[in-house]
Amino acid sequence: MAVRVVQWTTGNVGQRSARAVLAHPELDLVGCYAWSPEKVGRDVGELCGLDPVGVIASDDVDALLALRPDCVLYTPMWSDVDELVRILESGVNVVSTAAFINGNGLGSERDRIVAACERGGSSMFGSGVSPGFIEVLAIVAANVCDRIDKVTVVEEADTTLYDSPETELPAGFARPIGDPELPAMAARGTAVFGEAVALVADALGVELDEIACEAEFAQTTADLDLGSWQIPAGHVAGVYASWQGRIDGRTIVELSVRWKKGTTLEPDWQINEGHVIEIDGRPTIRTTVQFLPPPDFEATTFQDFMVLGMIMTAMPAVNAIRGVVAASPGIVTYTDLPLTLPRGWVQPSVE
């Protein structure tokens, strides 16, 4: 029997997850929540650039929950805990791409989610490409070791053309380089990577003494015009955040991100685009992960190319739906689920 899914929002990521649900033989899109008033009453196919599919977007939460979906595919930019509690306590499972791995970054608000899962008998899960998928790769790589000293994942990206001030300003971008609040901002803005440190530690079967964030910043020496926002000279245009899980003062898990904008950075950080996973142990493993377009991919603008990023963010969540629906109530992570499998995506041959 197909899993009944309600898509929650149809932004950049939501459009790709809705398309995936519509295309999957074991998933059934039964409803869609629209946050924007201009999307209410429109066919989901139209909102996603497809032909009409007969599912109409609505902002009536009660009506959507009354459809008795098995799962809400939750894809706004940030989590709304009040919204999540309402969904979960109604008995509907949630799979999220909204900066959620285990919810520890939410502080006391996490307890509300746990309580809602208990009342509703539902499960809450979060993933994405990074963090999320990339940590699963690291965990899988570590399976060939008979001794593990440290797991490291490094993400580096030039985000000059990535126009997302809603996610980058909270991490410290565009703040004066001497702002004493910068380390705290970087920690808050990248807190989900701290959650991912806990995920890796759980997979290793170790209990960490602490999870801490160390941050560095680079300034632009010239004004940067990024389209919808600007970074003045002398302000932050590079953020490095290293989330470290430690035992007895030794770092066992380190997940870091280094993001930069423009070509006038001081210091002049050199960026190697992509991810590097390294398992220090016996044996030591080092692998580089790059995401490339297929030969038939057509893109004339950076925005077109970013479709790949939205697909990569959506698909780990989509592929986890069946496992989350079958999971025990509560907040669950990859360590609580069977291995998620990419079934349903091999295309038939075209004659």
pLDDT tens by residue, 102-143:
999 999 999 999 999 999 999 999 999 999 999 999 999 999
pLDDT given at position 340: 96
241 phi, psi to nearest 5 deg: -130, 125
Helix or strand (DSSP H, E) at 189: helix 182-189
pLDDT given at position 349: 74
Mean pLDDT of 149-177: 96
Domain boundaries, the chain: 3-129+310-336, 146-282
pLDDT tens-digit readout, 66-104? 999 999 999 999 999 999 999 999 999 999 999 999 999
Q: What is the mean pLDDT of the chain?
A: 96
Query: Which token pair is 346?
Result: 């091999």
| Distance between CA atoms of residues 36 and 34, nearest Å | 6
CA distance from start to end of the chain: 30
- DSSP count for the chain of H helices, then E strands: 11, 16
Residue ranges with strand state E in the chain: 3-8, 27-33, 57-58, 71-74, 93-96, 123-126, 147-158, 210-220, 224-225, 230-231, 236-247, 250-260, 265-266, 274-282, 285-289, 330-331
pLDDT given at position 350: 63
288 phi, psi to nearest 5 deg: -105, 135
Query: Among 211-215, 313-317, 347-351, whose mean pLDDT is lowest?
Result: 347-351
261 phi, psi to nearest 5 deg: -135, 135
Query: Which token pair is 28?
Result: 């059934």
pLDDT given at position 299: 86
Mean pLDDT of 326-337: 98
**Is the CB of residue 31 less than 8 Å from the CB of residue 328?**
no
Please state which architecture CATH assigns to domain 3-129+310-336.
3-Layer(aba) Sandwich (3.40)
| Residue 351 reports pLDDT greater than 60 | no
Q: How far is CA 137 from the centre of its chain?
A: 15
In this prediction, what percent of the chain has a pLDDT beyond 90?
Answer: 95
Residue 261 per-residue DSSP state: -
| Distance between CA atoms of residues 267 and 314, nearest Å | 34
| Distance between CA atoms of residues 252 and 207, nearest Å | 10
